[in-house]
Structures are given as structure tokens and as C-alpha cells.
Amino acid sequence: MPKSSRIEQATKVGEGLWQQLGNRIRFRREQLRLDARAAAAHIGVTLESYEKYEGGERLVPANQLAELAELLDVPVFYFFDDLQIGETNAQGPEVNSHAGYVIATESERIAALIEDFQKLDFDRQQHVLLVARVLANEAG
């Protein structure tokens, strides 16, 4: 199945970030024909909690998201690939994808992160925190 088709099936524009994430989890689990009860057991939560993750009603902790990625045989970033966050603005600012790599010192990088983080809405801040936690767990 082509990537765009997979993403379109698992993501609906206008949904909140956590609902989109839950849809991705459910989509991949169903692709593999795994039972929700088995997925819940794999990450050590009740079926009710797991269903709230898939329904976007509850934030998936980074360690459990990493465990789900392992169970579902996908990289963690599969869950975030091309998510529609907020409204898209065709005339928005261009982002230089290499700009972050030119910040030389740690204190400058931290200052840049803080400044950019404070500009984000709550859902986007949660997304950044989750990605940062997953990356930190993978590095440690």
C-alpha cells in the first residue's frame, strides 16, 4: 500500500493530535490483526486505558509508545509521520530544515528551544515533549 494512502487512512484533518496518534496506533494494530487486549497486556495497562489511548482520550506515555512501536514493528516516528497539527497556512514562514544544526553552544540551543517551545499551542508542546522523551530514552 502506498505511503500516502496509509497515512490518509490513519489520519483525518481536523482531529486533535492525540486522536490522530490513537488512530495511527489502532490502524497499525488492525493491519497486523492484533487484538487490543493483547496490545494492552504488552504495554502493561488495562484494556480500558489502552482504548483511551487509541481513542485519543489519554496521552500515551513515551515508554509505552516505544513498547507499542516495538510490538507493531514500526519506528516510533511512524506515529507522527505527516500528522496534521492545527490549521495549515500555505503562506506560513519557510523553515530551513538545517537551521537547528548551526546553533553551536548548548546554552544557545536550549535558549532557541525555549523560545520556539513558548510559541507553540498546548497540543504542539505535548507533541514536542513526547518526541523529546522518546529520543532521550533511545539515547540512554
What is the mean pLDDT of the segment spanning 26-47? 95
Instruction: Find the radius of gyration of the CA atoms of the chain.
Output: 16
What is the mean pLDDT of the segment spanning 39-46? 96
Rounded Cα–Cα distance for residues 131 and 122 (Å) = 14
Amino acid at the residue 17? L
User: What band does 104 get if pLDDT is binned at 50, 70 and 90?
Assistant: low
pLDDT of residue 48: 96
Confidence check: pLDDT of 36 > 50 = yes
Query: At 115, is the secondary structure helix, strand, or coil?
Result: helix
Q: Is the pTM of this model over 0.85?
A: no
Mean pLDDT of the chain: 75
Q: Where are the domains of the chain?
A: 3-87+97-139
Nearest to 21 by CA among 53, 44, 45, 66: 53
Task: Specify the CATH superfamily of domain 3-87+97-139.
Answer: lambda repressor-like DNA-binding domains (1.10.260.40)
pLDDT of residue 29: 95
What is the mean pLDDT of the segment spanning 68-96? 66
Own/partner pairs, 11-18, CB within 8 angstroms, 24+ separation: 11/82, 11/83, 11/84, 13/84, 14/84, 15/56, 15/84, 16/56, 16/123, 17/83, 17/85, 17/123, 17/124, 17/126, 17/127, 18/56, 18/57, 18/58, 18/59, 18/60, 18/123, 18/126
CA 131 distance to own-chain centroid: 7
Rounded Cα–Cα distance for residues 79 and 40 (Å) = 17
pLDDT of residue 34: 96
